[in-house]
Amino acid sequence: MEFPLKQLALAGSVWLVLSASAQAESSLPPLDRTVAVVENQVILQSELDQAVAQARQQLASRQQTPPAADSLRRSVLDQMILQRIQLDIVKRAKGRVDEKAVDEALATFAQQQGAPSVAAFTQAVQARDPSGVERLRQQIRDSMLLSELRQQTLASRIRITDRDLDNFLASPEGQTLQ
């Protein structure tokens, strides 16, 4: 049986396209996978890997021995989940952070890192990672929001009665303040 020339050319073209697409797919980075879903947010494997690496780096800087890999990974994932839940609570309550406060915190962090200026620090961060400065600013915002949530939670638990106040004022410390 003979194949017409057009069919052979078409088959050859299809084979070339399929082999080219297979090569292109093999050169693509593997897809990130989901490790957890919190409310409507996804925690990706790459995020978890990055957080575990940061945790290891922090432990090493404190000269502490890290726990077993599985234990550290689970602990970091638990912290990420808790943080996402807390941030979701703050966002629902319309919590906001003043950008000036973020700038001040970034300046303090840059100084702690030994940078001569904020501009030099941000340039160094951007040289390593183009989106690093914005990611750092977001971490600062998140940290400030979580701190505000903790303070509000603590303040809501503290109840001072009139009797507590009277007892304090009658105490030696209260007498000293009067």
The model scores a pTM over 0.75:
no
SS3 track for 12-53: HHHHHHHHHHHHHHHHCCCCCCEEEEECCEEEEHHHHHHHHH
Give per-residue pLDDT as tens, 120-177: 989 998 998 888 899 899 989 999 988 888 888 877 788 888 888 888 888 888 788 7
Q: What is the pLDDT at residue 130? A: 87
Is 66 within 8 Å of 59 (Cβ atoms)?
yes
SS3 track for 82-142: HHHHHHHHHHHCCCCCCHHHHHHHHHHHHHHCCCCCHHHHHHHHHHHCCCHHHHHHHHHHH
Give per-residue pLDDT as tens, 3-53: 454 454 454 454 544 554 555 455 556 678 999 998 888 999 999 999 999
Q: Which residues pair with 37 in a beta bridge?
A: 42
